[in-house]
Amino acid sequence: MPRTLVSLDRRSDPDELLARAREEERRVQRGKLTIFLGAAPGVGKTYAMLTAARTERELRRDVVVGIVETHDRHDTEALTAGLELIPRRKIEYRGVKLDEFDLDATLVRRPDIVLVDELAHTNAPGSRHTKRWQDVEELLEARIHVYTTVNVQHIESLNDVVAQITGIVVRETVPDRIVEQADEVRLVDLPTAELLERLKEGKVYVPEQARRAMQGFFKKGTLTALRELALRETAERVDDQVRSQMRVEGVKGAWPVTERILVCVSPSPASARLIRAARRMAASLHAEWIAAYVETPAARRMPEVDRERVAQNLRLAEQLGAETVRLTGESAPEELIILSRRRNVSRIVVGRPTHPRSRDLLRQSFLDEIVRGTPDIDIHVITCEEGEGTEHATLLPSERQPTRWHEFAAAPLAVALSTVFAWLVFGRAELADVVMTYLLGIVLVSMRFGYGPSMLATILAVLALDFFFIPPYLSFSVTDLRHVVTFAVMFVVALVITRLTKRIRDQADAARQRELWATRLYAISRELANTSSVDDLLRIAVRHLGQAFDAEICVLLPDAEQRLVAATHGEATFALEANDNGAVDWVWVHGGSSGLGTETLSSARGLFLLLLGGRGKVGVVGVKPQHAKSLIEPERRQLLEMFASQVATALERVQLAEEARRAEDAKDHPVRADSISSPVLPVAAEGCPGGDPL
């Protein structure tokens, strides 16, 4: 009896094939990154990297050592023999000379493979990049293959987990995207007992350091847990590769429903923990994830420290591979619910509330609103560490403001004036009119001052009504219980009026700010559109950017040899220094941004952005703000990029117009060959027509 063959549909997914082709093309245009991953120091990552390098050298590959930390291990040092070493760069910092990896010398040398140890290392101040992994990225862009090492505790998304295991917060971390983009990750594993034996024998640290390590980091349970993390990280990467290959080959399996995770970002110190937890969850589920921050009108008056923390949290999410979204609305929960519906989110990550339960009696908590508004979405509540449990842990924007006591003085003054007016006009007989008079005073306080003064006015108004207009007079006692209902209704109405008035004020402030930026964008767009000269255009750009961002501005344009030269005019420009020139060159070559507020050449005095038009690079704009932290906010950075885009478009338009005029002139006045060879006629002397030639 013939066997029945089950036919499987193994046709490849065209979209997957296209994506894979694009990825292969991208990899061809970059160098190959090989990471030697270990669970802890001493497992042999550097040794394995040097061994692999020597194997490549035997295959006649051009291999050099950029930087290798042997830590005085003789067997490791022996492997460097015969390998070309790039001399280290000397940097003096606070009177101490530091040896750092010389990126520029390596780029000039351009080997096939370069060894760069300790990927998570922080470079000395004054270096081009803050982190060594940024140096590696530049090497890869130059099509240089890189061998590097990293321990699992330095992976950014595992930072919190490692801290819980070891009790040590690792400060030097590597973004997960660097590990994910690696062409090859080689796990260097060593049994825990063997590693501890190596530590005792002095093969990891010198004896004194080894004793301290065994009392802290190098404990059997700690090393076992770190080893599990390293194995799991490697296994997840292998699983990603298997799934990708199955999709390419059209192999059908039991695929789960597509997951998408939303993490709520706020100024809370606990937000970083939520972001890392969401990253780990997304990695384990192979899901997309979104980090969203909602800016309510009240959040525009947040303290500077909270604004800076929001920017840091969003940057952390971007480094970990999230799509960051910044929303604007009246209610943070409502905006997040709308976003989750629109983006088909399957899980939402929030922080556990730590405020007193009594607060929920006045208004529904953030968590309750999210849970009730998303009955078909899984909610993951992350517990905060002790010390992180502030009001911000509810993921609502901070509304705390510096206390201005002179505003609170308006509350008793308004209540006193309302009392005198009600006494003189209505007396004690017209109680309803008296209540309306007090409510009017509360509204006036709410319109002019903040939430605190208006609440104080509400309480004082209820007390004044009881003391002056409710029998027994000039006493806070109440004989008729019906008046208690009057007090309660008056208090609730005043509270509602106060909150509504505050919301209207916040909306007005937000609308005023948006109108201001829209007006400035319209003004610069209109002036740039009516300009046909590069000099006038630059003068307009410097003036508008300087006024909008309270900064000094410079614009640099390429000359005939494509070298950037300062081309700005006006009083707002600033002269570039050595650090600034390095940042400008980086932006011109690599695009993006560098300098102040970035992780590339952050020692520069200004922030530099590429002016990018429809045909390509146009120039570079530099912004030197009066206050260094004023450009940290993502919203202001986005506005600056919008301004820069307007300037780039206008510059490109003017340049195209000049090219068109030159082409038209060349067409109307062609150069004839006989005019080139004809002699120059003499010019008669002025005042002597027909006289002797000069």
pLDDT category, 213, cuts 50, 70, 90? low
For the cut 50, the answer to whether the pLDDT of residue 398 exceeds it is no
For the cut 80, the answer to whether the pLDDT of residue 345 exceeds it is yes
Taking the C-alpha atoms of residue 157 and residue 137, their distance in angstroms, rounded to an integer, is 19
For the cut 50, the answer to whether the pLDDT of residue 394 exceeds it is no
All CATH 3.40.50.300 domain ranges in the chain, comma separated: 30-249
Q: What are the Cα distances from residue 236, in Å, to 149, 177, 179, 374, 609?
A: 19, 14, 12, 30, 37
pLDDT category, 359, cuts 50, 70, 90? low
**Residue the block writes with tokens 């101490």:** 96
pLDDT category, 157, cuts 50, 70, 90? confident
Taking the C-alpha atoms of residue 663 and residue 670, their distance in angstroms, rounded to an integer, is 10
pLDDT tens digits for range 275-289 = 999 999 988 888 889
Q: What are the Cα distances from residue 460, in Å, to 290, 426, 494?
A: 46, 19, 11
Q: Given this model, what pLDDT does residue 2 score?
A: 36
Whether 333 contacts 373, CB under 8 Å: yes
Q: Given this model, what pLDDT does residue 355 score?
A: 65
Q: 30-249, superfamily in CATH?
A: P-loop containing nucleotide triphosphate hydrolases (3.40.50.300)
pLDDT category, 71, cuts 50, 70, 90? confident
pLDDT tens digits for range 561-613 = 777 887 765 554 677 877 788 888 888 888 878 888 777 887 788 888 888 88
More confident residue, 112 or 681: 112
Q: Given this model, what pLDDT does residue 247 score?
A: 57
DSSP-derived secondary structure for 204-223: SS-HHHHHHHHHTT--HHHH
Mean predicted lDDT score pLDDT of the chain: 78
Q: What CA dihedral angle connects 300, 301, 306 and 311, to 10 degrees?
A: 20
Token pair listed for 526: 């209109």
Angle, CA of 668, 670 and 674, to the nearest 5°: 145
Q: What are the Cα distances from residue 347, in Å, to 116, 273, 276, 316?
A: 39, 17, 15, 20
DSSP-derived secondary structure for 489-508: HHHHHHHHHHHHHHHHHHHH
Taking the C-alpha atoms of residue 199 and residue 211, their distance in angstroms, rounded to an integer, is 9
- What 3-state class would DSSP assign to 348? strand
Whether 322 contacts 290, CB under 8 Å: yes
Question: What 8-state DSSP symbol labels residue 122?
Answer: B
pLDDT tens digits for range 445-490 = 877 776 778 788 888 888 888 888 888 888 877 777 777 777 777 7
For the cut 60, the answer to whether the pLDDT of residue 679 exceeds it is no
All CATH 3.40.50.620 domain ranges in the chain, comma separated: 260-394
For the cut 80, the answer to whether the pLDDT of residue 121 exceeds it is yes
pLDDT category, 363, cuts 50, 70, 90? low
All CATH 3.30.450.40 domain ranges in the chain, comma separated: 534-667
Sheet holding 607-613, edge to edge: 564-566, 551-558, 616-625, 607-613, 593-595
Residue 689, preceding peptide bond in cis (omega within 30° of 0): no
Q: What are the Cα distances from residue 493, in Å, to 215, 408, 458, 512?
A: 63, 20, 10, 28
**Short-list 399, 368, 393, CA closest to 296:** 399
If you count them, how many residues does the chain have? 694
**Highest-confidence range of 364-378, 490-504, 665-679, by mean pLDDT?**
364-378
Q: Given this model, what pLDDT does residue 397 score?
A: 37
Question: CATH number of the domain at 534-667, out of 3.90.226.10, 3.30.450.40, 3.40.50.12170, 3.20.20.70?
Answer: 3.30.450.40
For the cut 90, the answer to whether the pLDDT of residue 540 exceeds it is no
**Highest-confidence range of 25-29, 215-219, 244-248, by mean pLDDT?**
25-29
pLDDT tens digits for range 620-662 = 888 888 877 666 666 677 788 888 888 888 888 888 888 778 7
Q: Given this model, what pLDDT does residue 576 score?
A: 80
pLDDT category, 133, cuts 50, 70, 90? very high
pLDDT tens digits for range 88-106 = 998 888 888 888 999 999 9
pLDDT category, 14, cuts 50, 70, 90? low
Threshold 0.75, pTM exceeds: no
pLDDT tens digits for range 178-202 = 988 898 999 998 888 888 887 777 6
The alpha carbon of 532 is separated from its chain's Cα centroid by a whole number of angstroms, namely 37
Angle, CA of 79, 81 and 87, to the nearest 5°: 110
Containing 627, the helix (H) or strand (E) segment is none
Q: Given this model, what pLDDT does residue 692 score?
A: 35
Q: What are the Cα distances from residue 638, in Å, to 494, 524, 609, 631?
A: 40, 16, 11, 10
Please state which CATH class domain 260-394 belongs to. Answer: alpha beta
pLDDT > 90 fraction of the chain, expressed in percent and rounded: 16
For the cut 50, the answer to whether the pLDDT of residue 352 exceeds it is yes
Q: What are the Cα distances from residue 176, in Å, to 153, 160, 223, 550?
A: 12, 14, 22, 36
DSSP-derived secondary structure for 524-545: HHHHHHT---HHHHHHHHHHHH
Q: Given this model, what pLDDT does residue 348 score?
A: 92
First to last CA, the chain: 116
For the cut 60, the answer to whether the pLDDT of residue 300 exceeds it is yes
Over residues 172-182, the mean pLDDT reads: 89
Query: What phi and psi values does residue 89 have, to the nearest 5 degrees?
Result: -90, 135
- What 3-state class would DSSP assign to 680? coil
Q: For residues 632-671, b (16+ Cβ closer than 10 Å) or e, as one string?
A: bbbbbbebbeebbebbbbbbbbbeeeeeeeeeeeeeeeee
Q: Given this model, what pLDDT does residue 226 score?
A: 86
pLDDT > 70 fraction of the chain, expressed in percent and rounded: 79
pLDDT tens digits for range 495-539 = 777 777 777 777 777 677 777 777 777 778 888 888 878 888 888
